[in-house]
Structure 1
Amino acid sequence: MKLIKFALAGLVTLLASFSLASAQSADNYLTIQLKDGPVVIQLMPDVAPKHVAQIKKLASEGQYDNVAFHRVIEGFMAQTGDVQYGNMKNGFDKARAGTGGSKLPNLPAEFSKVPFQRGTVGMARSQDPNSANSQFFIMFADGSFLNGQYTVVGKVVSGMEFVDKIKRGQGGNGEVSDPDRMVKVTVGRPQ
């Protein structure tokens, strides 16, 4: 009986380390090149598998490249990811940026107990909890009022100092005139 318990404990340890290694594999990182430097986000497929898969698909297709940070609120967050209206080199529509998504379907909410803290990356959505598509935001500060209300997809693990330099919005809802953009977005860590 002791041998069986020992073998089971070893199997659990092995599975846990495999899961940790998988969560830390290179394809579970997103690198966003900003004007000031790279931002590396550790994605959380164990927390929000459908959302992470969609972000990775859009990034690997180059759809996030040149997309504006259309809504940036000091002390709160920087929002981007509108691939439909936010591409500053192809079809940028300042009046509609932030209202679009991608050609992929909207996603059902994957709410979790992961808190919204400085550096947390969450999915933007309309009032319908199941309406997240391509837009996401990066928190400048803690935002516990978002906990359990928005899907967390990852956290910034390096380059937060570059996020802090994103141009802030002047409008009442954080709208940015002449916004900064994601220069290039790739799956994986910077080379």
Structure 2
Amino acid sequence: MIKKTLGAMAALSLFAAPTAAFAQDDEEVVARPSVFSPINYDATEDVEDVWVLDLSNGERVKVRLMPEWAPNHVERIKTLTRLGFYDGIIFHRVIDGFMAQGGDPTGTGQGGSELPDLKAEFNPMPHVRGSLAMARATEEDSANSQFFIVFYPRFSLDKRYTNFGRVIENMAGVDSINRGEPPQEPTRILQASLASDNKAPPVAPSAPATADTPVTADMLSAPIQQ
């Protein structure tokens, strides 16, 4: 199983164990506009490449997957989605002003799928607001199932993490994901689907979503850094 987590302090360099997942951002935090650059998308033709996330906060978020940027990572997301892998999984590490990370079935940041790790598909596409990228361990070819969505531009991640999509609908729903490392009441993916499957949103649970496995500080030994 691949250990992947995201981390917090902006101008601070934290280093992780070799097996831990992180995104290290060596830039100091500077004021940048929260740009949300458009990408080409045809709602009538590209439904097979639109990832739909129904969240426990009542929001439905749509992400345009970009096989032109990273075909194997896009195929992995599609495969796991159609297996129901992401249904019920929490966002286990959510850093205000940075990103929201999910995709770990254990809810601890230490897990992944049973499929083989992916070879990196680094590309020149920038990590702007709404970018979808894959978390990985120290080794470049270690991405598996965990992903993160960027709240604000993080250009120091460019060509170091595989950027393979961007939010095209309801970025405000991503902004409303509960913060924390881990959050006290984590936001959960109730249902992940592809737009081509035309699934209706599920009924949200009445009780706040919580991780099935308690998460303690010692489990989060490998933060993604800003």
1:13 aligned partner? none
Alignment of 1:117-128 (within 5 A): 117-128=128-139
Alignment of 1:131-170 (within 5 A): 131-169=142-180
Alignment of 1:25-174 (within 5 A): 25-34=46-55, 35-83=57-105, 85-86=106-107, 97-169=108-180, 174=181
* Structure 2 gaps, min length 5: 1-40, 200-226
- Asked which structure has the greater RCO (Cα within 8 Å, sep 6+), the reply is 2
The higher radius of gyration belongs to: 1
- Aligned to 1:183, the other structure's residue is in SS state strand
In 2, the alpha carbon distance for the partners of 1:26 and 1:105 equals: 27
In 2, the alpha carbon distance for the partners of 1:77 and 1:118 equals: 9
2:214 aligned partner? none
Query: Percent identity of the aligned residues?
Result: 43
Deviation string for 1:139-184 (max 9, x for gaps)? Answer: 0000001011000110000010111100001xxxx32223111111
Deviation string for 1:27-58 (max 9, x for gaps)? Answer: 10100001231100000111111111010000
State the TM-score, normalized to the length of structure 1: 0.78
The code of the aligned residue for 1:177 comes to Q
Deviation string for 1:57-82 (max 9, x for gaps)? Answer: 00011110010000000000000001
The structure where helix makes up a greater share of residues is 1
Structure 1 moving runs of 4+ over 3 Å: none
Deviation string for 1:62-120 (max 9, x for gaps)? Answer: 1100100000000000000013x13xxxxxxxxxx111100111001000000000000
2:195 aligned partner? 188
User: Would you say how many aligned residue pairs link Structure 1 and Structure 2?
Assistant: 158
* Structure 1 gaps, min length 5: 1-19, 87-96
State the TM-score, normalized to the length of structure 2: 0.66
